[in-house]
Structure 1
C-alpha cells in the first residue's frame, strides 16, 4: 500500500533540536464513522514499515477495516517517514538528530487530531517498538485512548534489552566502510554482522532446538537460515536508519518526559485504558517477567502470555497459532 504523508513542518524535538520539514508517512485501512470514534492506531515496529502490519488487518479479523479506521504511522527513522536516508533538504544523513518515542507519539497525536479529527481512539496496538508506542499513547494521552494491546513489547526498554542493542550497534559500526556514518556505499560487512548478531535473539532457543528453521522455513542449515531468511532484510535497510531507530528504542520509557519526570510507576498507574498485554513466553528481550511488573501497576490491565516457542517473532504474524492468539485477544478487548 502506498503511504500518505502528513507534512508536519518544523518540529521541536524532546532534545530541544528543531527537525525541519518533517514528513510522517502513514497508511489508512477503512474509514472513520460519523462519530469519529472507530479509530485505531497501529504503529510500525523496528526496521518495519506500514506494510509489515498488513498481516493483522482484514475483514473478519479484530482489526477489520469494514468496522474500524486503522491508522498505521511509520516511525521517524524507518526510511519512509523523515529519516537519515531521506532527511530534510540541506541535512546530511549523519547529522540526523536523536529522536525519542515521545517525539513520535506527539507527531502521531497531531496527525490523529489535526488531520483526521479524532478526539478518542478505540485502540492503540502494536508489536515490539509498536507495542512500546502503544504504552506511550496510553500514558501520554490517558483520556483519549480507550484500550491498548501491546504485544511482544514493553513500557520501557530494560537494561538487558539496552545491552543487546549495544551489541548489534557495535557489530554494524565496527565496519570501516560505515565511516562514522559518512559512507558513500552501504557498509555491507557491518550490515551482515548486525543481522547475524540479531538472529540469535529474535527467535527462541526452543525454536532452534526443534529445528523449525528447517521444518517450517525449509532451509538446510543454520548458514542458509542466516543468508536466506535474515541477512536480506537488513541488507535492504539503510545503516543510519537502523541506528536512528535503535536510538529511539534504547531510550523508550513512558516516564522519560516532563509528564512523569522519570517516575515509571506513576506513569503506569496513569494509564486509564483497558489493556491486554501480550508478551511471548520465550521472547529473549521482552520477557514476560517485565510485563508482569508493568501490568501489576496498571489500573485495568490483563496479562496474556503467548504460549509460543517463536520468541520475539511470535508477534510478527509468521506462525498462524500466534496470529490467532493475538487476534482473539484483540477481539476480546474491543468487545469491552
Structure 2
C-alpha cells in the first residue's frame, strides 16, 4: 500500500489519516486486505488498526516507482496487490476478484477501471516477477540515457538540475486517470505509501516496490554517473527510480481490466472526501458501514447477523418498552461473549430473548388472566 504522497490537491493534508465513516482512509484500505499474509505500507510509521510492515523509498517522496521498489523488497509472493491508501469503498471481495482474475489470466496484471473507463493501476493485482523485470529495465534504461547525456564537465543531470528530490523531474502520475501519482502494488502482502505494496496483499497509491528482485531497495539519487546496463545508482548502490511516473511501468505490462466505478473511487480532493462521507450515510450503506467501524474501533472480528439483532430490538421495544431494545441487545452480546462468542452464541441468546419479549407482548394483549 502506498501512503506517503504529498496530497497537494488536499492542501498537503494527511490524506491517509482523513476519516470517512469514522475510520481513517488507510485503515479502511487495510480492512479490505485483512487476509494478506504480509501487509507492507510504504510511508512513515503511524498507528494503524492492525499490524503492518513499514517501508520507505529513499529519498522520501521519490515517486511511485521508487516506492513500489521499496515495498516489493519485503515480499517473495508470486502475486502482489497494489493499492493506494485513499479508496473508501474498496472491500475484500474486490481484492479477491482481482487476484482470481489474475490467476485465471496470462496477463501481467489485472486492474480496475473507473466510471469513465480510465485505468486505475493503484487498484490492481500484478505478477511480481513481471513488475520486477520492468522496474529493472527502467532503471537500466535511465542509467544508459544519463551516461550518454553526461556533459564534458563531468557533471550528470542530477548535478545540473540541482539533484533529484522527492518531487522528481517528471509528473508522478500514472497516466490520465485520477490514480496517478501515489501508486503502489501488493499481492498477498500489502505495502504502501499512500497505498502500499506487498507480496500477497494489497498495496497502494503513493508507494512502491521492493522485493528480492534486481530492482534494489531505496536508493538515493546522488551525483549521476555512467552506470551502463547495471542501472543508475542511488547512494545505497541500488538502481534509482526517483521521479519516474507510474505509466512508465504500466505501459510495458500486459494488463486485463475490470470495470468497477465504486471500488475504484479515490479521494484526491476535498470534494471527493465530502462525496465519500455522504455516500457512507446513505440508507442502503449506513448500517453496514457503522457495524464495520464499530468492530474496528472495539478490536473485534465477528460476523454480525444485523437482521437478527434488529428484529430482537423491535420485539423488545414493542413488547416491553422502547428503552428495552438497546438494553436487551447489550445483554445478548454479553451472554454470547461469556459463552465463547461467535455467531451461534449470538443467535442462541437472541432466540431466548426474543421468545421472552414475545411472552411479554402476549400478556399485554390478553383480556383476562388464564382460567
Which one has the largest radius of gyration?
2
Would you call these one fold, judging by a TM-score over 0.5? no
Structure with more helix by fraction:
1
Under TM normalisation by the shorter chain, which class is it?
Answer: under 0.3
**TM value normalised by structure 1:** 0.27
Which protein, 1 or 2, shows the higher relative CO under an 8 Å CA cutoff with sep ≥ 6?
2
Q: Could you tell me the TM-score, scaled by structure 2's length?
A: 0.26
